[in-house]
Amino acid sequence: MITLFACPKPFKDKKISIIQRNAIRSWTLLSPKPDIILFGDDFGVDKICQEFGLKHIAYVVKNEFGTPLVSDIFRKAQDVAEYNILCYVNADIILMSDFIQAVSFVSKLKRPEFFIKFRRVFLIAGQRYDLDIDDAINFDDADWEIKLKSAVKEKGKIHPPYGSDYFVFPRGMFRDIPDCDRETGVG
């Protein structure tokens, strides 16, 4: 079982709203169903949490430019997470059923003897494919994943490695992140 957490952009712009709704809806369909926490008081975040039955933490410490601090988001997520495996994911990333399978596989890997004292230490970082999706995905279609994977294969482009869009880790691993914001990386 996993807790996903994210800090979406405001749901004002139509395209950003569609992209984020598609992503967040895909998370709700994962099996087993994850614990999902959305952070921030930006426009529409509270409404999407109500609509999908997600946890919402409105207050996030921000820097002088109003940018949420990643350090605060990670601390709060670990404090309220339902599960001991957590995943910070950008709110525009669609996750499919193979995501949960991969997390389960990695989290159960046997570690070499000298890692035993560090029980369950691992980090999964993900690189995305870029694909323009202008409309809401029909998640009621039983073949939505197959169709999306086909579209990615046909039109998607792998994003350069520096564009990591999710980080999966055990609770407690990232408690001491320095205070820096998610856009500039500085405090």
pLDDT tens digit string along 88-133? 999 999 999 999 999 998 888 766 555 555 556 788 888 888 999 9
Look up the CATH number of the domain holding residue 160. 3.90.550
User: Average pLDDT for residues 142-169, to the nearest whole number?
Assistant: 91
Residue 125 and residue 167 in contact, taking contact as beta carbons nearer than 8 Å:
yes
Whether 187 is covered by a domain: the verdict is no
Examine residue 152 and state whether it is found in any structural domain, yes or no: yes
Q: Which domain holds residue 126?
A: 2-170
139 three-state secondary structure: coil
How many domains are contained in the chain? 1
Strand partners, 62: 68
Looking at residue 122, its pLDDT comes to: 82
Domain annotation covers residue 179: no
Report the pLDDT value the prediction gives residue 161, as an integer from 0 to 100.
Answer: 78
**Which pLDDT score is estimated for 126?**
83
Mean pLDDT for 34-61 is: 97
Asked if residue 120 is part of any domain, the answer here is yes
Give the least confident one: 37-41, 86-90, 155-159: 155-159
Kindly tell me the sign of the dihedral angle through the C-alpha atoms of 70, 75, 77, 83: positive
- Output the pLDDT for position 111: 64
